[in-house]
Amino acid sequence: MIVDIINKKRLNQELSYKELDTFFNGYLEGTVTDYQAAALLMAICINGMTDEETFALTKIFIDSGDILDFDELGVLVDKHSTGGIGDKVTLVIAPIVAACSCPVIKMSGRGLGYTGGTIDKLESIPGFRVDLTDEEIYEQVKKIGLVITGQTKDLAPMDKAIYALRDVTGCVSSIPLIASSIMSKKIAGGADKILIDIKVGKGALLETEEEALKLSDLMIKIGKIYHREVRCKITNMNIPLGYAIGNSVEVKEAMDILQGKERDNYLVDLCYDLASEMVSMSKSISKEEATKLVKEAVDKGYAYQKFLELVKSQGGNIEKLPLSKKEQYIIAHKSGIITNIDALELGKLSVSLGAGRTSKDSKIDPKVGIKLHHLVGEEVSRGDTLATIYVKSKVKLPKSKDIFEIEKKSSLKKK
């Protein structure tokens, strides 16, 4: 009985492949209810899973749908991020990597918890289609070398259903659930090599480096079972990535980076690093050689052109990127150097504006979001605008001191 499976996990006992298969396929078929699935997921979050259970769950997710095969296109490298606040890295690096002549088929997800999702961001471009069929994906990658689309209906559909339920039941931060969710999609999606950006910090699904290392080990082990090279990068998510948090605002920032308008900040460095890693994996060349190609692709404008080709090919109109005209501002409460910006608080604010979901069926508002005017390390004066908040209608904003830590220059010198 289904309830026996839930009880077994509640008592921290190992579930067999058969039990996991019965439960999760039952959920997909509708014989296991949302509340039963939520109960099991919460028990997994609390008690964890053994490696064997995680491998089994990954296989069940993979087998729930199609397994794509793009062997004809050469070595396909895919990248996945565990999700962060202001994480628009995919929007930047997918066109860069494609502009370096490495084919990219990126199947992305929606926002999870307070972290945004690439698909929600791309949908803020009017007309942009994120539901390409397998045939369309194939045709487009052959034509322009780049596709960013949602998980197709038939690709790991069980992960799609479980992911949406985890999002609204506090079940996102579980290492085995994250590992099986990510790896099932990447393997079913036909990636030969997989780069995972594991975010750690207050604005991420995982808060400690120790958890990130466990996730990394688990995903590398799953990769070995399926003969896929997996590289993991553990990157900081205590402060938001770049200036924009939201959907259309993040698309705009990604375009600025691709045009070389934004340089020398943590986000830009991260984008160059991850893009170089992907190019190095795809072409089997050194990271140094790959970095040269990446820089050239941006400097010569090829990467931005590739982004525009992508938007056009998927039906989007970039001229019509919406942004609310209603603005509110967060003003500096004192003068000094910004020593911290609380990513989690900004993530919560952006969800409360309507840029993320609070229930499975919430609709995202593409026009709302946050634009920071200053990053960590910059000097500001009391009364300066620290952030513009694009709202649908007037909201109560958090206080500047609850988000921005500012220290007087003199006290910093003493430290």
Binding footprint of ligand URA on the chain (CB under 6 A): 82-83, 109, 112, 163, 177-178, 181-182, 205
The values of phi and psi at residue 402, to 5°, are -80, -10
Beta-sheet strand order (sheet of 404-407): 379-380, 336-341, 404-407
Q: How far is the CB of 337 from ligand URA (least distance, A)?
A: 33
Contact predicate 137/191, CB 8 Å:
no
Cβ closest to ligand URA, residue 182 vs residue 255: 182
Q: How far is the CB of 182 from ligand URA (least distance, A)?
A: 5
Rounded CA gap, 141 and 173, in Å?
33
Q: Which of 59, 79, 80, 228 is catalytic?
A: 80
Instruction: Judge whether 335 counts as a catalytic residue.
Output: no
Contact predicate 407/339, CB 8 Å:
yes
Rounded CA gap, 195 and 197, in Å?
7
Beta bridge partners of 146: 104
Q: How far is the CB of 83 from ligand URA (least distance, A)?
A: 5
Cβ closest to ligand URA, residue 95 vs residue 111: 111
Element (H, E) at 370: strand 369-372
Cβ closest to ligand URA, residue 110 vs residue 252: 110
Contact predicate 24/180, CB 8 Å:
no
Provide the 10 A C-beta neighbour count for residue 293. Answer: 21
Nearest to 21 by CA among 65, 49, 59, 67: 59
Q: Which of 160, 185, 228, 367 is catalytic?
A: 185
Q: Which residue, judged by CB position, is nearest to ligand URA in the bound state? A: 181
Q: Which of 181, 248, 350, 400 is catalytic?
A: 181
Cβ closest to ligand URA, residue 148 vs residue 298: 148
Instruction: Judge whether 181 counts as a catalytic residue.
Output: yes
Contact predicate 82/182, CB 8 Å:
yes
Q: Which of 88, 166, 228, 231 is catalytic?
A: 166
At 173, the amino acid letter reads: S
Cβ closest to ligand URA, residue 27 vs residue 163: 163
Angle formed by the axes of helices 17-29 and 157-167, nearest 10°:
80
Q: How far is the CB of 299 from ligand URA (least distance, A)?
A: 32
Cβ closest to ligand URA, residue 24 vs residue 163: 163
Contact predicate 244/253, CB 8 Å:
yes
Q: How far is the CB of 53 from ligand URA (least distance, A)?
A: 16
Q: How far is the CB of 113 from ligand URA (least distance, A)?
A: 9
Element (H, E) at 52: helix 51-63
Beta bridge partners of 197: 81, 233
Instruction: Judge whether 166 counts as a catalytic residue.
Output: yes
Count of all residues that appear for the chain in the document: 415
Rounded CA gap, 287 and 383, in Å?
44
Instruction: Judge whether 80 counts as a catalytic residue.
Output: yes
Instruction: Judge whether 299 counts as a catalytic residue.
Output: no
Q: Which of 87, 120, 159, 256 is catalytic?
A: 159
Q: How far is the CB of 82 from ligand URA (least distance, A)?
A: 5
Cβ closest to ligand URA, residue 181 vs residue 324: 181
Catalytic residue ranges: 80, 159, 166, 181, 185
